[in-house]
Structure 1
Amino acid sequence: MDTTVADTLIGTTIDGRYRITGRVARGGMATVYRATDERLERTVALKIIHPSQATNVHFVDRFTDEAKTIARLTHPNVVAVYDQGRHQGLPYLVMEFVQGRTLRDLLSQRHKLSPVEALAILEQMLAAIAAAHRAGLVHRDVKPENVLVAEAPSGGTADLVDAVVKVADFGLARAIEASTVDESGQLMATVAYVAPELVQTGQADARTDVYSAGIVLFEMLTGRVPYDGAEPVEVAWQHVDNDVPAPSTVTPGLPGVLDRLVARATRRDPGSRPTDAGALLSEVQAVRDGLGTVHVETALLRQVPSRASDATSLVPTVQSADATAIVPPVPAGTYHASHRPTWARLPEQGGGRGMPHRRAASPAAGGFFADRRRVVMTSLIALMAVVILGSTWWVTLGRYTEAPTLVNMTSAQAVAFAGEKGFEVLTGDGIYSDTVPKDAVVSQNPGPQKKIVKGDTITVNLSLGPEVHPVPDVVGIELAVAKAELESLRLKVKEGKSQFSDTAPEGVVISTSPKAGEQLKPGATVTVVVSKGRAPITVPNLVGKNINQARGDLQTLGLTALERPKDSDQPADTILAQSIKPGTGVAKNTEITLDVSKGPPLITVPDLTNQPCPQAQATLQGMNLRARLDINPNGFVRAQNPGPNTQVPPQTEVALTCL
């Protein structure tokens, strides 16, 4: 599957030196790319953290510590770090690029390994971890995902005995005396491989890595980890409560010496394990040498029957002190003529010590036996030629067939159809597709009609449907980091007009359009508005002041007043409200709208002439006016001041002449 299509960093040159050419893997915290060091003209791996982690100070510090940690370990089985730096605010590491696969990938493909292969890989793993232990470091996360198996000198990773193994990801490594619990109290290890002391006390030392290496050996020999459970904490406590079972209980026929090796490395009591990876390495080498001495044979001798009369037994079994097992061929160059049994040696090699001396046969007898020997040798050579030709045909052609076409099938249909053809189906990463329906097969490996081993596994990638991404919430994040996160989703970024903000520092995103959470297709544009920081002028509190005073205050600050008259019971020209809250920062010449009281509304004085004075007084009081009765309060109104229909403010006094 091509994973480079949706990544805008592909093709980017970082620090004018590292040109990114492809994406290798994407994890929860960081992404690893393949890059070309244009200065030294070599391929490197570039590991850069995700924008979402850029504000996590604890993680960034740990990321930087990884470079310093690995720089202390100069060892051929440790992935080297060449450089470190920052790109658009995101820290990155430049590391050695290992052409190959992880041990996890190999186990997913092959399920389990032969004892010789497993020990060959474990030796190099322990050599790398031993170098860390000598430097006073504990890896703390030994697992197949952190073991890289490079291509063997013979090409590919098929010959694991010759492959180069490198241990990666020392990001969790700490000094031996340091704690293995992070600041949040969470266990910093993978529960399938976690040592009991980590679960109980959270402390790690070199023996903790020894335990994890023992679990990895168990998995290589059996194709599974010893414990499983619904919850991680359940798995972790099984390491505390149980002894690791013998690998031979899962894979019958394994030599007992391997059971004892796994048991030694995975004792629940750290004091009963080898003291460090170097000590375990010595034991592994002794076991491997022992197995190799007992099981040495060549591909040629496997084709020759052990007796002339037993022509059907073409692959002998070798009995060791622990078990009877069929042993795979040893690598070329390890066989010596002395390893052959006496009956298979050539005349010039001799038949071995202690063979009785015979007198020379007569010419006639010698000719008879010579002819018979030629017949036997010719028959054996012919038999071996047939076997070798048959094996060659099987290895190169006979075991292969064509992969079925699974593209456009649903997942269930693909599994069923492949099963009918004798294949297993493994589901890989999904792929966005505008044409293939969601959950249908977009691609397969091997491809349709491509050569594949009978009964092998076909990896299919299912459609994720059309590619859409929710707009991430980048409000409160620096512009450079926000742009990197948006562009990583293949979204275009447009900067809107910057604005002052009383809460967001300068250079920080204060809003986006569309808003966070809205679904967008790749190529869509997101407009970001960035803070200019707090504005330079603070708006004063003007409510309750006279408009004349407010005008003067605003003019002094360099602000402009816009007046808006309002009916109110407040005295005329009193400020009732302002459009910008007091204390807000604003720029020079900002307009502030002020609501100004027009004063209480006027009242029209009624015509009270000839009315009884007490009645006229009551009328005025009901209209929020005051009455003054002159001469005879019980008489009739003969005159009034102000006169009828005059408009006066509330509580104005009206004088009534009563006669």
Structure 2
Amino acid sequence: MDTQVADTLLGSLIDGRYRIRGRVARGGMATVYTATDERLERTVAVKIIHPTQAPDLRARVAGFVERFTDEAKTIARLTHPNVVAVYDQGTHQGLPYLVMEYVRGRTLRDVLAERRRLNPDEALAIAEQMLAAIGAAHRAGLVHRDVKPENVLVAEAPTGGAANLVDSVVKVADFGLARAVEAAEEDQGNQLMATVAYVAPELVTDGHADPRTDVYSAGIVLFEMLTGRVPYDGNRPIDVAWQHVDRDVPAPSTLVPGLPKALDELVARATRRDPGARPTDAGALLAEVQVAREDLGNNAHTAVLRRITDAPAPAVAGPTMAVAAVRPAERPAWARLPEPKGRDRSRGTEPNRPHRRRAVPEGNGLVARWRRQLSEAPPGRLAVVAGVLVVALLLVGGGWWFGVGRYTVAPELVSLTKAEAESQASRAGLTLVYAEPRYDQKVPRDSVLAQDPGSADRIVKGGTITLTLSLGPEQFPVPDVVGKEYELAEADLRAANLEAVKGKARYDDNLPAGVVLDTDPKPGAEVKPGTKVNVIVSRGRAPITVPNLVGKNVNEARGALQQLGLVPTETYRDSDKPKDEVIGQSPADGSGVEKGAEVKLEVSKGPAPVTVPRVVDLPCPQGKQVLESQGFPVVVQFNPNGVVRFQNPGENSQVAPGTPVTIGCF
């Protein structure tokens, strides 16, 4: 008989506030429940770490709960319509939990399980909102580290339309949990946390994560939405992970024939194995997705225009899967993405930028009227009407080219190194020129400090971007003012944009009072402007002269120092000098010191003891020779030509050098 274990959390009250109502989903690290916030009377989602996981994390990393709490606070400050809001955090029976916004919808994983793959316009619409959320996190200094369909929630539009996902609202979850758990893993050897199907190559090779890591994972998610599968599989997770390092992600059109080339290029840009070749963050990738979606929509409209006019179309390779035109103003207000900076919300256009072309209606549009005129015109006027039509089309095409078509979007180059910026500009077909560099306290030397035009601004294809490079923090060398009067030293430091601070003066045997002895930082050190330099000034020669104590008995030396008001300290070491004889001193004799100063004495412990060798059972002359060769005086008793039968001191005795040894020979 099967036994089902009840979920003990169902119906329980967490923190005296959140009543658990039902279980929504269970993952490898945590379970998500719906709950009622009894204080505010609203439905929320509660994500709580599994009981089997939390003790393990705490055992491995004592600070896991603190990290989890810090991450929850950070993500709670991130307010964005496409980010699952975090309302609260805490621990329940020792298990960390998050209280989040409850999204009525499905995960992108559920959508893909049902639909297998999405239409290009649906995939790009979901990618836009997903990247808008991740981009907001990147601007706040957060990296998600685990972008995957399971962490993307799709809420259907209030008006319905479940069959088409273009107007659905997308929200991204699990920013805080991903980073807190990864931090725990890093302390235990930098193990791989991200899901291997979406993991960036740099996470596999060196465990490094930055905004470009999320860009890679988002590119894999876009690949899966377009093709219905991830690019790599294998028998073991580690095999899948290393395929991201060793292989380029294939073009989606190789798996789904007919996908537009622009989508292949978009996926390829996001999933470059070299992080430096990808868009710098999710905001940069979002701009490229919007441009691709706009271009594909315009191509679809061009095809419609050609069909209406029955004009012969040139043989240009284009997408075989049309993408719906982008009309942000036609979305419900709750589903619109944030407008780009500088856009006139009332008209939907940017300043000084022509309106985007709208799809031409077949019934009452300009082309329809031209078609009627062509069909109704007498033969003599047909050529005139046709000529006017050609001129009008040329004007429309030229206006589009000069107003929109010849422009592209400037890439984000700020904060990149000079080499990285040149590489990215080269790939975009743009030219770089450099303005006068300037110092900056935060941006490293040879990194991009500013660009014109700015990132995501329009720029003519093949145009020029002006970069301002950083010279790094401005540094000034500390001038050498040792040996100068304090007033002169202060003036020199002020002239070097530094501030002089008079430190504690001290005695010196060589420099007179009022003269600079030393500075901190030392002369020549590179420091920031305005740095305070501690200036040490001489007090002149000290009033007490240290006597010569070397060669004196330690008791005699100690008495002499105490009589002068000085403090003796002694250290003992082996020496060939007699025991208790002073063999060194500091300060040296003749030095000036003040009353109460410490004088260090080195005192002899006497010669180091030596070991008496064994000579018993040796012929008496040989035994005497052995002892004398090691510096021992020898006293022979009884028969000097006999054999040594005893010795005093005995063998292996430790004695002072030169100690007499008596041997008895028989």
Query: TM-score range with shorter-chain normalisation?
Result: 0.3 to 0.5
**Structure with the larger RCO, 1 or 2 (CA within 8 Å, 6+ apart):** 1
**TM-score (structure 2 length as normaliser):** 0.46
TM-score where L is the length of structure 1: 0.47
Q: Which of structures 1 and 2 has the bigger CA Rg?
A: 1
